[in-house]
Amino acid sequence: MSRFTTEHPMSSKPVPLSPRGQRIFRWALIPAGIFAIYVGCFVWRFDIFSAPVRDNEHGWLGPRIRGDSHSVDIGEVYYYEGTDFSLYDRYSPLCALWLTLQGL
């Protein structure tokens, strides 16, 4: 049995994928793997269970960066006093998604 098999809906016998289907499956794994690494790096770098971070000029930024000394707790949110916004720029799609999930 090939490792690239699929269950036919009307049969309990596995049906092997065609060579074209195998190629599509392999090429689909590349962007899925890259996206999984991107999300993993976001979770590794940011404290996703923290309060949101805000800056007066840039607005809501996203979650607090782990180990960052530039984020100051001002109550229910953090205020970012730093000048380097590169991490928030690099992960802006996931920061925007995180802010949406937070209701901001």
Higher per-residue pLDDT: 95 or 6: 95
Comparison of pLDDT for 19 and 66, the residue scoring more: 66
pLDDT tens by residue, 6-46: 555 565 666 677 888 888 888 989 999 999 999 999 999 99
Overall pTM > 0.85: no
Residue with tokens 């799609």: 93
**For residues 56 and 47, what is the distance between their CA atoms, to the nearest angstrom?**
21
Give the pLDDT of residue 98: 96
91 vs 97: CA distance, rounded Å: 10
Backbone angles phi, psi at 14, to 5 degrees: -65, 140
